[in-house]
Amino acid sequence: MQEDAPKIAKDAAPTGTQTLLRGLGVVQAVASGARDLKEIARLIGTTRSTTHRLASCLVDERYLRVVPQVGYLLGPKLIELGFQAREELPLVTLAGPYLDELSALTGDTIHLAIREGDEVLYLHKNPGRNGPEMRSRVGHRMPLARTGIGKALMLDDTQEEWKRLYEVSLPAGGKNQFWPQHPEQSWEQFQQRMIEYVAGGYAFDLEDNEPSIRCVAAPIRDASKRIVAGISIASTVPYMPLEKMAELIPLIKGVTARLSAELGAKV
């Protein structure tokens, strides 16, 4: 059984840079699943007594907690700091370098968007160098089910929710105002595509909303593994053949995975 770490005076703890690093090591060891002093000491390479002093100070300061018959767990202070860190660095600011990286690598239009109700809300746009300028703009909204980035934001939804979002996205009168002659895909076609996208962790826009516009998109997740945003790479058909779209899947998934890690997601 895990023994409780008794509280000790703060000035009894070791001091200095090495102690700081060891303290961080204790937190990381607990985060990785270590629950008792023996295992923590093994992972960070310290004696049991040193580990005990470090862990006790971290419990005092609420960075760790001790739960009877369980052992050491991450403490409430880390939760507070995690939320503060997320709030202090807005998503657009955090995502900026990743969006710029995709722009430089592809030359295509890059979007960052979030979900608001049944719609996509575009937060940021890096205009592309390939082809004509797109209609999308920061602050623009579109039905989730009609865009690649919207479908990426729907990957965790149930099929019942997919169907609802598909139905509310259908244009009034059955015709798309931007593309009246465009044949609408059936629910069964939409459903099959979404099943494939869930399996692959990405989504496509195959001229679903306006003529000649295609995109590849992937979701961004936070520490709770919840989808909080999405990124898309978009261009016109001449610059976005299906072969290129397939090649862009690992690129955009790699970038969104790195950005998700910045938000605390375990990738």
3-state SS, residue 227: strand
Adjacency order of strands within the sheet including 213-221: 141-143, 119-126, 109-116, 227-236, 213-221, 203-206
pLDDT in tens, 253-266: 999 999 999 988 88
For 196, phi then psi, to 5°, come to -65, -40
pLDDT in tens, 52-77: 999 999 999 999 999 999 999 999 99
pLDDT in tens, 110-131: 999 999 999 999 999 999 988 7
* Equal fold, 17-84 vs 89-263: no
For the chain, how are helix, strand and coil distributed in percent, rounded to 5? Answer: 50, 20, 30
* pLDDT score of 203 more than 90: yes
**Where is average pLDDT lowest: 126-130, 136-140, 147-151, 236-240?**
136-140
151 with 217: CB under 8 angstroms? yes
- Residue 164 burial (CB count, 10 A): 14
**Where is average pLDDT lowest: 158-167, 170-179, 252-261?**
170-179
As a whole-number percent, the residues of the chain with pLDDT over 90 amount to: 68
Please give the model's pTM, rounded to 2 decimal places. 0.70
* pLDDT score of 212 more than 70: yes
pLDDT band, very low/low/confident/very high, at 231 (cuts 50, 70, 90): very high
Mean pLDDT of 10-31: 78
| pLDDT at site 182 | 61
Mean pLDDT of 131-143: 82
CATH domain 89-263 topology: Beta-Lactamase (3.30.450)
| pLDDT at site 10 | 39
251 with 105: CB under 8 angstroms? yes
* pLDDT score of 227 more than 70: yes
φ/ψ bin of 256: left (φ > 0), alpha (ψ from -120 to 50), beta (otherwise)? alpha
Instruction: Give every CB contact of residue 44 below 8 A, 6+ residues apart in sequence.
Output: 22, 25, 26, 29, 51
CATH domain 17-84 topology: Arc Repressor Mutant, subunit A (1.10.10)
Domain ranges of the chain: 17-84, 89-263
How far, in Å, are 18, 161, 175, 180, 189 from residue 172 at the CA level? 66, 20, 6, 11, 20
Mean pLDDT of 10-19: 61
